[in-house]
Structure 1
Amino acid sequence: MRALCFVAMGDSLTAGIGDPTEEGWRGWAALLAAGLAAREGEARFHNLAVSGAQTGDVLNRQLPEALKLRPDLVSVIVGVNDTLRCTFDIQAVAARLDTAYGAATRQGAQLLTACLPDPGAMLGLPGALARPLARRQRAVNAVVHALSERYDAVHLHLAEDEWVADRALWSADRLHPGERGHRLVAARFHGLLAARGIAAGSPPSCEPQLPSPSRSASLLWLATAGTGWMARRCTDLLPQLLTLAADEVRHQVRGSSARLDLSATHAVRSALAALTATERPDAA
């Protein structure tokens, strides 16, 4: 019998950032892969996710490699990095996700997706800075929700207040889950897959096996890698984010903030309406 093949695509969340082991970053996808089959050797796992990846990277770089592997199970969790770029375009994001989802499912793979919390809330940014990012992430999540239903994906909701507010689930950078958070994601996906008869192995434990990083280790990370990350984002996003924040304040003063939300909602509807109709894999 052919071993079940699981291919993970996406950004730093799927690459395992925040869940360090002696061999390197592990993450939810690797934890899930270990519980897919009842016996060792009955499942293969390939992680193509790359830190910093955007939807365009998944479509143009990761997807061709994934399709070559003829996967039975494919995860596509991406979009946060798109919201952190001055080039953000929800119509382009929707088109790329639709193409990636469609290509994977047409090959017969079961799709895994997730909606994600907005980075502004995670970083605790001031309201005028946080609201534009939240609006963008809500737009991405709305697209992911709609396309997940279209392609019958196993979809996980990771934007709930409970998930976001529990600091024990998050690493020092406040953007990536720690080991406990990655384990929770893996366990929740395992439960959904088991309900569909796909995951036959034992679910991953939700309890961490490694001690949480010390405060000094967390501060060291923030002072080194974290500072570099912020510097890279500031040069790309900050100028536009300041413009968005100024626009936010102007609308707030005028009492017309609702227009920004309505505009974002209209953009999502237009993006979904613009997608080329693609026949569902199970449609005949």
Structure 2
Amino acid sequence: MSRALRFVALGDSLTEGVGDPVDGGWRGWAALLAPSLGGGERPVEFRNFAVSGAQTRDVLERQLPAALAFGDARAPDVVSVVVGVNDTLRCTFDIAAVAARLDAVYAACSGRGALLLTACLPDPGRKLGLPPALARPLARRQRAVNSVVHALSERYGAVHLHAAQGAWVGDRAMWSADRLHPGERGHRMLAVRFHARLAELGHVLGPPPSTEPEHPEPTRSASLFWLATAGTGWVVRRCTDLLPQLLALAAHEVHHHARGTSATLDLKAARAASAALAAVSVGWWEEAA
């Protein structure tokens, strides 16, 4: 019997499986994808290290060491790293630090021969339905994170999923009651899309996960109830330290919009992301040499 393929998942609540409840816990896209990775015959050992609220620092300092030590000295065969949204919701957001941490995580995984799975994601402001002056700064931050993920995924040969845009983002059926995490149907869609990307690249896989949910979709009343109760708490916990800065960013946004100079904010953010990538590129080329 061939040895088991080891798949570990790193990240935040998306990969933890929030929005796809089973047996008193969460399942999520990574768990749905895992059985397919063995080609239908090879057993798969799956471990999910993702934690709700995790930022890139948590993945680098906590989840990565645990994942690389999973089982025995043999490194995982497949590692998924999907993280970054929570970084954008903090007053400490620094795209240079995000790029450096992701670069270190990707390098550690690919350097041990693991196949890397990554994804870019929609901005949280859009999903929350925030007013434009509040949503635009968050969207700008998420675009910066996505541009870093795109570039580093290409550098390390990752199987990258473009999930930041597309019909699924606006399809209410894909999302859970909180409007921020995929529901079961959305998690299944992500698993199927990752399966398709892997198949395109010639990886041996078993059958794709089913697209049909096992549980009913949340009703509109359930969604409204969540937003009025638990949803408010979720936003407060994630954004307490960001709110004063976000209000300042919103005022700054309104000022530039009134002057017709909003494009300068986009340009500044794009330049910061490019500078962050340039900084980690220097270290990467020096190590390669």
Measured against the shorter chain, the TM-score band is: over 0.9
2:107 and 2:188 map into 1 onto residues whose CA distance is 28
Name the structure 2 match of 1:71.
Answer: 76
Secondary structure class of the residue paired with 1:18: coil
Name the structure 2 match of 1:238.
Answer: 243
Secondary structure class of the residue paired with 1:111: strand
Name the structure 2 match of 1:9.
Answer: 10
| TM-score calculated relative to the size of structure 1 | 0.94
Give the superposition deviation at 1:234. Answer: 3.8
1:212 maps to amino acid: E
CA contact (8 A) 2:195 2:208 kept: yes
Counterparts of residues 32-111 of structure 1 (less than 5 Å)? 32-39=33-40, 42-69=43-70, 70-111=75-116
2:193 maps to amino acid: R
Moved over 6 A (4+): none
Judged with a 3 Å threshold, the aligned counterparts in structure 2 of structure 1 residues 54 and 234 are, in CA distance, closer, same or farther, namely closer
1:213 and 1:252 map into 2 onto residues whose CA distance is 37
- Range with greater deviation from structure 2 (32-41 or 2-11): 32-41
CA contact (8 A) 1:27 1:179 kept: yes
Give the superposition deviation at 1:111. Answer: 0.4
Name the structure 2 match of 1:115.
Answer: 120
1:78 and 1:31 map into 2 onto residues whose CA distance is 18
2:271 maps to amino acid: H
- Range with greater deviation from structure 2 (187-196 or 215-224): 215-224
Percent of residue pairs identical: 70
| TM-score calculated relative to the size of structure 2 | 0.93
Q: Which residue, 132, 140, 146 being the options, matches 1:127?
A: 132
CA RMSD of aligned residues (A): 1.9
Secondary structure class of the residue paired with 1:36: helix
Judged with a 3 Å threshold, the aligned counterparts in structure 2 of structure 1 residues 199 and 26 are, in CA distance, closer, same or farther, namely farther
CA contact (8 A) 1:101 1:111 kept: yes
Judged with a 3 Å threshold, the aligned counterparts in structure 2 of structure 1 residues 35 and 139 are, in CA distance, closer, same or farther, namely same
Judged with a 3 Å threshold, the aligned counterparts in structure 2 of structure 1 residues 152 and 234 are, in CA distance, closer, same or farther, namely closer
1:126 and 1:221 map into 2 onto residues whose CA distance is 20
5+ residue gaps, structure 2, are: none
CA contact (8 A) 2:86 2:238 kept: no
1:234 and 1:191 map into 2 onto residues whose CA distance is 35
Query: What is the aligned length?
Result: 283
Judged with a 3 Å threshold, the aligned counterparts in structure 2 of structure 1 residues 202 and 225 are, in CA distance, closer, same or farther, namely same
Name the structure 1 match of 2:168.
Answer: 163
Name the structure 1 match of 2:32.
Answer: 31
5+ residue gaps, structure 1, are: none
1:143 aligns with 2:148: yes
CA contact (8 A) 2:5 2:42 kept: no
Judged with a 3 Å threshold, the aligned counterparts in structure 2 of structure 1 residues 244 and 105 are, in CA distance, closer, same or farther, namely same
1:249 aligns with 2:257: no
Judged with a 3 Å threshold, the aligned counterparts in structure 2 of structure 1 residues 173 and 280 are, in CA distance, closer, same or farther, namely farther
Name the structure 1 match of 2:283.
Answer: 277
2:163 maps to amino acid: L
Secondary structure class of the residue paired with 1:173: coil
1:214 aligns with 2:219: yes
Secondary structure class of the residue paired with 1:243: helix
2:181 maps to amino acid: H
The Cα offsets for residues 95-150 of structure 1, whole Å up to 9 and x where unpaired, read as 00000000000000000000000011111111110100000000000000000000
Secondary structure class of the residue paired with 1:209: coil
CA contact (8 A) 1:113 1:144 kept: yes
Give the superposition deviation at 1:5. Answer: 0.5
